[in-house]
Structure 1
Amino acid sequence: MRLWISRLSSLLLLPFSVLVGLFRTAPARAAGSGVLNVLGPLAHAHAHNDYEHERPLLEALGHRFTSVEADVWLADDELYLGHFEPDMSRTLQDLYLDPLAALVTANDGSVHPSWDGTFQLLVDVKSGGAEAWRVLERQLAAYESLFSLSSDGAVEVGPVTVIVSGERDRMEMAAAPLRRTFYDATLDDLDVDLPAGLVGMVSANWIDHFTWRGIGPFLARRRLREMVRRAHAAGWPVRLWGAPAAVRHNRRRIWQVQLDAGVDWINTDHLDELAHFLARRRPTRLLARLGSRRDDGAPGGG
């Protein structure tokens, strides 16, 4: 009798076990896996220094991320990837622009299959400044209808939205009548009257504002919420980078207080861990992120 009950329990639990197994192995797959289609893209997930992973872009997509970051260096009129120096064997175009264009074509207008959101590519300029931005704009212009576009302040949201951080010239970007890139603002920019269609999001260094490392109570919760409230009032999504991440339990606590405060992008190098964290703690949002719908106007507000 006990043996019969044990076998019956095993049969009843088999479908659940298969689903859990698929979920656990899904992050190793490229975009388009069955589990990705079921759970949907993760609206809060940003892959910091994505190019340092074994499979740049594809690994993030396999984990259902909706934002990736690439550091670029200008050399010989080309944008090369790298953190401390350029890797002359890897370009932004080869590892990001061309693959994103191929995915959008294959998925009938979306980076993720059956998704109406805009995928975010954060380009952190390490050298070249305004000239690197001009090269980036020229490269983006070669891809018809792929990237979000700002024309005299009016924004048309495309399958991919490119935001420029690092060495960038805010005034030159603002003056451009036509742009395929958006400005990564700072908290100081909240006090400046910036033109519509310029800002894609606001980024801030965690350790510049908070000393909490995920241990004990978080005493600056109200200050974090006020920071996010001000940015959202301006129409800007928020990303905090540089938060302590050495200890797993502590970084998860930091992720949670950011989510609780309304931070839009959780910045991480731990793709698998964050994907599981977000899937367990918050329902996946396909379209709720500010500006994620193609017909909503600016990808991050004005």
Structure 2
Amino acid sequence: MFKLCFSFLFLISIGSALAADSKHPLHSHNDYEQDRPILAAFDNNFKSIEVDIWLSNNEVKIAHNPWHFKGTLEEMYLIPLQKMVDAGTINADAENPILLWIDIKDIRQKINKRLAAVLEKYPMIGNEVRVILTGSKRLKRKFVLDFPHIAVDRDENTLEDLQDSPTPFHWFTIKWSKNFTWNGE
């Protein structure tokens, strides 16, 4: 028990130290579930935001499940972000960007083409805002190959992916439940 408490306190102290360092941003997972999506994150100095996307009626929509859409990626995130970047109201640049994690939940390949068309409209992508694709391994690999001119990164999910990566990866994600037993209680 002592070991567990000590480990937990150690992780909290590391988290606090990293949060104070702008190079290690705080992260808002499923940000769209907040009362004030994106705004609450920035008010609390979060520089990393994650959203889940689906394709519905040829629009890239935000939701954890495809039957409860919150809005579109553009209206909820891209338009407000571009306005903040243009107005200079957020502290971000190409060296210290806002991280926008886009979790591709929809497994249909046509979401990639639509997502590319949406992202291409925003000059902040690849500059003040870095997009990181997560979710479907097949779709994010295909996106990077089909749209290399769009500045996106992708995460890698297994060590085996390291050799076969079509582009340099910058992020590595792991499944919490495969590595930890703590469930928040």
The TM tier, using the shorter chain, reads 0.7 to 0.9
Residues 186, 142 of structure 1: alpha-carbon distance in 2 compared, 3 angstrom cutoff:
same
> Are residue 147 (structure 1) and residue 125 (structure 2) matched?
yes
Figure out how many residues of one structure are paired with residues of the other and give that number.
164
Matched to 2:184, the amino acid is A
Q: 2:109 aligns with which of 124, 130, 133?
A: 130
Q: 1:118 aligns with which of 97, 102, 116?
A: 97
Unmatched segments (≥5 aa) in structure 1: 1-38, 149-157, 214-243, 247-302
Residues 76, 189 of structure 1: alpha-carbon distance in 2 compared, 3 angstrom cutoff:
farther
Aligned to 1:53: 34
Q: How far has the Cα of 1:105 moved from its partner?
A: 0.6
Q: 1:162 aligns with which of 126, 131, 146?
A: 131
Q: How far has the Cα of 1:129 moved from its partner?
A: 3.6
Q: 2:157 aligns with which of 171, 186, 189?
A: 186
1:1-302 aligned at under 5 Å gives the runs: 41=22, 43-88=24-69, 90-107=71-88, 111-112=90-91, 116-144=95-123, 146-148=124-126, 158-167=127-136, 168-176=138-146, 177-197=148-168, 199-211=169-181, 213=182, 244-246=183-185
Structure 1 consecutive aligned stretches of length 4 or more whose deviation exceeds 4 Å: 39-42, 113-116
Unmatched segments (≥5 aa) in structure 2: 1-19
Task: String of CA shifts for 1:98-150, please: whole Å, max 9, x gaps.
Answer: 0110111111xx73269951110011122144321221111111112x111xx
Inter-partner Cα distance in structure 2 for 1:72 and 1:115 = 24
Name the TM-score, length of structure 1 as normaliser: 0.49
Name the TM-score, length of structure 2 as normaliser: 0.77
Identical positions, percent: 27
Secondary structure of the residue aligned to 1:204 is coil
Q: How far has the Cα of 1:40 moved from its partner?
A: 7.6
Identify which of structures 1 and 2 has the higher relative contact order when contacts are C-alpha pairs closer than 8 Å and 6+ apart: 1
Inter-partner Cα distance in structure 1 for 2:39 and 2:171 = 23
Inter-partner Cα distance in structure 1 for 2:40 and 2:109 = 30
Matched to 2:129, the amino acid is V
Inter-partner Cα distance in structure 2 for 1:48 and 1:67 = 8
